[in-house]
Every structure is written in C-alpha cells, then in structure tokens.
C-alpha cells in the first residue's frame, strides 16, 4: 500500500487563522468534535530548558551556578533517565564554559544538547563542543514564516531541510523546533515538513527529532478541539505520519495558564518528551515547571526508587538562597506555604490527621513536614512550635514572651477574626516580644 503523500501547500498570503486568533479579542476555543484516542508511550521523560529558555527571562546564570543546577537535576533524576536532556546556548564564552564544566561531570543523564539558529554556520559551535544533538529553530506558523522571516513556505522549508541535512552530515542529531505550531497550517506546512524530515531520517539512518513549540501557550488539552490548538491532534497526526514517540517533544509556555496540563496531555497522546524549566522560569510567562513534571510522571507511571523526589526541595533551597529567586509563598510543591494550613477549621482537622488537608506525605516524599498556621486554636504550644520552627531555637511554652504573643492572638479572635495569623504578623509580634534575643532566620 502506497504511503500517503504530504505535499507542501505554498500560498501567496499567510493563513493567520483569524476565526481562532482575532487578536482584538481573546483567542477562540473551537470544537470539531473529532476525538483522538490516547496513545501513551511506554516510556515518557522530561527534558530541561533551564539553561536556554530559562535564561531569557532573568540575568544569565554564571557557569558555576549552571553546574550546581545541573548537579541537582542529576540528583533528582539519577540514573533513571527521567530528566534525560538539558539544552544549552553555545554562542558566548560563558555558555561554552558552562557546557565544559557540566560535561566534565561525566553524567549519562541529563545528556547535554545544544540550541542553534537555522543557519548552517552555527554547526561549528556544536562540533566544537562535541555534542551529539542540537535543537534548531524552524518556525512553523505563517506568522513567523511570512511576517518575521519574510519568506514563502517553500523557501522556509528548503532552508530548514538544508540545515537539518547539514546537522546529519556533521554526525549530529537534529531536533527541529516547530516554533509556534499552535498557529501553524497543519496540513499545509507542518505535516509536509515532518514528512520530509522523516525522509531525511531514512536516508541517513539517523533520528530526526521534532519539538512541538507552543510559543504563545495556545495549546488546548481537551477532546474534540479543532486544529491548530488541539494538542491531541497535533501529536496524533505526527504519530500517524510515522514519527516515533521517542522523537517527539512538547515545549510549552504559560500565557493562558495551561502550561503544565498541556505538557502532561502531550504525554497522553504519544509524545515521549516533555520540556520544562526549574520552577517554570522561562521567556515571558515561563515553561512547564520541571519539578511539577517530575511529580506528574510519578502519578502517571508510578514512583521509582531511582528518582530522588526530595531533591526538589534542595533545588528550591539553592535557588532561593544562592540565586536570589523569589519563589511565591503559595507556589505548589516548593513554596514556603505550599503545605501550610491556614484556615482555622482546616488546622483543627490537620492536627487530628494530616491526611485530611495534606495532598500526600510531604515529609517522606519532599522532606517538607506539614505545617499549621497560627489560629485561635494554636495556644501557647502552637506559638512555641512556630517560633522554634522559624528560628531553630528551643523555648519554654510558658515563657512570658510566648504568653504575651498568645494573649495578642486571643485579642484578635475575640474581635471576631476568622482568618489565620499571617507569618508577617507573627514575625512582627515575635520580634517585638523577643527583641535582640532572636537569632537570624535560617
């Protein structure tokens, strides 16, 4: 049976999908009611863009900071290959120094890969660093082809294929980044481009990978959504084309608050790799939070002893203390208050049995003991516990200063307060009561 032909549809004017992306209104959710079945790969994993996309929204990391982060990613994933690859810029001396430092570790995982523009001359950087794989920017939507590159689809396709061939000629596996795929003409450009890449793969007997880049966070996870926003259809069509799951990777952004569910949806429909960055730090609204993908993987595929889940907490501590990263207090999994119960009635339940209001054993899995905020039910014992936990000191429950703070709390609730006492209030009251006797916060 002859293979289906995927012919490029060259057009004179860009297809901007105005019915879906009117621009002067919010994007539209359009259903075609066609359902794609689940196609979960046997093996799914995480790739990291902390040192590439993650550096486009903050001051660049120093090479030593990159090395420490790389060590921590290795500590989390270990030999499991869960965190399989990291991508690096290669252009500056600092970029290349970071790559050399990380290569010297000799870790199998995460594998070090590059990122370059779709310019054949850029392969000198990949060759110089001795890398086996590199990402290549290959914009897919007419927004980029016509309005940014000022090319036709045919011109863009020819240029991309030339660069992919140059990579293969150099013995480097190309990973083509289909930028802005959630606004691209799927039948007219995406599938024909992918089909040509699969031909190259056969010709060279070498993988040619495809990264589906949801550049503006338009991808939707729901069944029955129409292209180009449908994550199930974007991946399902490439799988029908014959692209192996292990050659497919999802790269998302959080412009519309769907970055994590979009990445996990990609796993469900046949994409082996989900690309993320530590704590979601990436261009504009950021990428899928890598630590969340680690937990998502455990829920989908089960926990493994080869993954050090508690090292996620070490990663957060390093980022907060050494990189100056301000992780929001309520940030899931790693924020200061992520497993702190504040509502009075919740605190009462938590003290009876922590499973009532804690989503899992945070002490065992993340080395984060559950905590209860101060309420009218805390008493002097609760105040003592709070102070000892924050300042790493031991004090008596009946210390007059503790009693003074408890009395202050009682006054608050006698005036019909229902919310928990905030940490900011507690720090103020404790500081006033203890004065210079308090050590620095640890």
CA dihedral 228, 230, 232, 238 (to 10 degrees): 10
CA atoms within 13 A on the CB side of 129: 32
Q: What angle do CA 296, 298, 304 make, to 5 degrees?
A: 155
In this prediction, residues 288-305 reach a mean pLDDT of 97
Mean pLDDT of the chain: 93
Residue 23, φ and ψ in degrees, nearest 5: 70, -45
- Please determine, for residue 2, whether its predicted confidence score (pLDDT) is greater than 70: no
In this prediction, residues 224-235 reach a mean pLDDT of 98
Q: What is the DSSP letter of 34?
A: P
Please tell me whether the peptide bond between 335 and the residue prior to it is cis, using omega within 30 degrees of 0: no
Cα–Cα distance measured from residue 193 to residue 306, given in angstroms and rounded to the nearest whole number: 38
Q: What is the DSSP letter of 87?
A: E
pTM: 0.89
Cα–Cα distance measured from residue 442 to residue 427, given in angstroms and rounded to the nearest whole number: 13
pLDDT in tens, 90-108: 999 999 999 999 999 999 9
Is residue 115 very low, low, confident or very high in pLDDT (cuts 50, 70, 90)? Answer: very high
Class of domain 45-307: alpha beta
- Please determine, for residue 429, whether its predicted confidence score (pLDDT) is greater than 90: yes
In this prediction, residues 191-220 reach a mean pLDDT of 98
- Of all residues in the chain, what percent carry a pLDDT higher than 90? 77
In this prediction, residues 314-334 reach a mean pLDDT of 94
In this prediction, residues 304-332 reach a mean pLDDT of 95
Which one, of 369, 300, 366, 313, lies nearest residue 341 by Cα? 369
Is residue 368 very low, low, confident or very high in pLDDT (cuts 50, 70, 90)? Answer: confident
Question: Residue 1: what pLDDT?
Answer: 38
Is residue 442 very low, low, confident or very high in pLDDT (cuts 50, 70, 90)? Answer: low
pLDDT in tens, 381-398: 778 878 887 888 888 888
pLDDT in tens, 3-49: 678 999 999 999 999 999 999 999 999 999 999 999 999 999 999 99
| DSSP tally for the chain: helices H, then strands E | 15, 10
- Please determine, for residue 299, whether its predicted confidence score (pLDDT) is greater than 80: yes
pLDDT in tens, 128-163: 899 999 999 999 999 999 999 999 999 999 999 999
Matching residue, tokens 């040192």: 51
Matching residue, tokens 């359902």: 35
In this prediction, residues 47-73 reach a mean pLDDT of 95
Cα–Cα distance measured from residue 236 to residue 261, given in angstroms and rounded to the nearest whole number: 17
pLDDT in tens, 343-352: 555 555 655 6
Chain mean position to CA 278: 6
Domain residue ranges in the chain: 45-307, 341-437
Question: Residue 376: what pLDDT?
Answer: 83
Residue 143 tokens read as: 């927004």
Which one, of 12, 6, 7, 8, lies nearest residue 146 by Cα? 12
Pick the range with the lowest mean pLDDT from 56-70, 167-181, 211-225, 407-421.
Answer: 407-421
């Amino acid at each position: 049976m002859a293979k289906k032909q995927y012919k490029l549809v060259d057009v004179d004017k860009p297809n901007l999908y105005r019915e879906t992306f009117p621009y002067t209104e919010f994007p539209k959710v359009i259903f075609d009611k066609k359902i794609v079945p689940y196609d979960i790969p046997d093996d799914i994993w995480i790739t990291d863009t902390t040192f590439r996309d993650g550096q486009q929204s903050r001051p660049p990391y120093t090479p030593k900071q990159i090395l420490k982060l790389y060590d921590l990613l290795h500590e989390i994933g270990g030999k499991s290959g869960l965190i399989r690859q990291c991508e690096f810029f290669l252009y500056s001396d600092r970029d290349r120094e970071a790559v050399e430092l990380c290569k010297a570790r000799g870790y199998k995982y995460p594998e070090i890969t590059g990122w370059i523009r779709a310019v054949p001359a850029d392969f000198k950087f990949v060759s110089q660093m001795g890398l086996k794989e590199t990402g290549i920017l290959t914009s897919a939507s007419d927004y980029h082809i016509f309005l940014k590159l000022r090319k036709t689809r045919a011109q863009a396709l020819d240029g991309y294929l030339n660069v992919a061939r140059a990579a293969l000629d150099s013995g480097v596996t190309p990973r083509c980044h289909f930028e802005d795929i959630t606004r691209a003409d799927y039948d007219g450009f995406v599938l024909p481009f992918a089909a040509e890449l699969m031909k190259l793969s056969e010709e060279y007997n070498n993988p040619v990978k495809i990264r589906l880049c949801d550049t503006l966070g338009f991808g939707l996870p729901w069944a029955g959504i129409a292209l180009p926003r449908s994550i199930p259809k974007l991946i399902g069509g490439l799988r029908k084309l014959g692209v192996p799951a292990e050659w497919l990777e999802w790269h998302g952004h959080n412009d519309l608050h769907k970055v994590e569910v979009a990445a996990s949806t990609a796993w469900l429909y046949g994409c082996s790799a989900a690309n993320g960055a530590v704590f979601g730090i990436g261009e504009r609204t950021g990428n899928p939070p890598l630590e969340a993908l680690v937990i998502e993987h455990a829920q989908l595929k089960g926990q493994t002893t080869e993954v050090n889940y508690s090292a996620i907490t070490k990663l957060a501590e390093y980022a907060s203390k050494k990189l100056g990263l301000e992780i929001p207090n309520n940030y899931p999994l790693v924020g200061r208050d992520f497993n702190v119960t504040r509502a009075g009635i919740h605190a009462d339940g938590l003290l009876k049995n922590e499973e009532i209001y804690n989503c899992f054993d945070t002490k065992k899995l993340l080395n984060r003991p559950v905590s209860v905020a101060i309420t009218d039910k805390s008493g002097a014992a609760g105040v003592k516990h709070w102070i000892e936990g924050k300042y790493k000191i031991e004090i008596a429950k009946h210390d007059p200063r503790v009693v003074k703070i408890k009395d202050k709390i009682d006054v608050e609730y006698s005036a019909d307060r229902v919310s928990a006492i905030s940490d900011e209030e507690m720090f103020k009251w404790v500081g006033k009561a203890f004065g210079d006797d308090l050590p620095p916060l640890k």
